[in-house]
Amino acid sequence: MRNSYRSHHAIALTLLLAACGGNTSVVNSWKDPTLVVHSYKKPLALFISNESNTRRAAEDQMARRIPGAVPAYTVIPDSILKDTPAAKAFVEAQGFDAAVIMRPVAMEKETNYVPGSSYAVPAGYRSAWGYYGAGWGYAGDPGHYTQDKVLYIETNLYSLSEDKLVWSSRSKSYNPDNMAKLVDEIVDQNIAEMRKQGALPPG
C-alpha cells in the first residue's frame, strides 16, 4: 500500500535528519544541592588527555566557549602537569576561582537496527506486468544494522575558592571524528545544562 511505503520513508527521513543534527547529549548530571547561582570571574579550562595536541586543542575550544576561561596548558607547564601539588600552586598563584575539567571516560560501540521499507501490491494489480512495473517503481529497501562509535565524556565544575565539586555530568557523543566540533558540542550542551540547573547564571 502506498501509505505504508510513504510512512517507511518518512521514518527514514527522520532518522537521516537526526543524524545530521547534534551528535552529543548530556545523559546524567548532578548539582551540589547547597549551590547558589554564582558568576565565576576566572575559570580554568582543563582537558585530561595524554595526547598533548588533543589536550591543547580541546582546551582552546573550551576557552572560546566558556566566558572568561583560560586554557590550562597556558598556566600549568607540561613538566609539572601530573604533579598535583605543583599544578595547584601554579593555578592558585594566578587567582583562578573555578575549573571546568573534561575527561574521556569510555569509548564503546553501539549497534542499532534501521528498519527498511516494504511495498505491498494493491489488490487492483491483476496484471503480471502491472505488478512488475510497480514492483520496480517501489522496490523494497531491506532493513540493516549500523554500528556507531560512542564516546562518553565526564565534565566537572569546581569552585576553587572552596575546593569542591559543584556540578558534574556525563555526556554521550556519537561517531566523534572532529575534535573541535566535538568539544564545541560538549561544552555547549553542558553550559546549557549548568544554566538550566542553576550552576551558572543565565546567559
| Residue 203 within a domain | no
| Residue 84 within a domain | yes
Q: State pLDDT tens for residues 115-148.
A: 765 555 565 466 677 666 666 665 556 667 778 8
| Residue 202 within a domain | no
Enumerate the β-bridge partners of residue 168. Answer: 30, 156
Q: State pLDDT tens for residues 45-102.
A: 999 999 999 899 889 988 988 889 999 999 999 999 999 999 999 999 999 999 999 9
| Residue 8 within a domain | yes
| Residue 175 within a domain | yes
Enumerate the β-bridge partners of residue 29. Answer: 169
Task: Of 7-16, 24-33, 58-67, give the lowest mean pLDDT range.
Answer: 7-16
Strands 98-114 and 43-47: parallel
Asked if the model's pLDDT at residue 191 lies above 80, the reply is yes
Number of domains in the chain: 1
Q: Are 148 and 174 in contact (CB under 8 A)?
A: yes
Q: What number of H helices and E strands is found in the chain?
A: 5, 6
- With vertex at residue 92, the alpha carbon angle to CA 87 and CA 93, rounded to the nearest 5 degrees, is 100
| Residue 50 within a domain | yes
CATH code of residue 55: 3.40.50
Outline where DSSP puts E strands in 48-143: 70-71, 98-114
Where residue 22 falls among pLDDT bands split at 50, 70, 90? low
User: What is the rounded average pLDDT for all residues in the chain?
Assistant: 80
Residues 128 and 120: their CA atoms lie apart, in Å, by: 14
Q: What range defines the domain where residue 48 resides?
A: 2-197
CA quadruple 54, 183, 24, 48: dihedral, nearest 10: 50
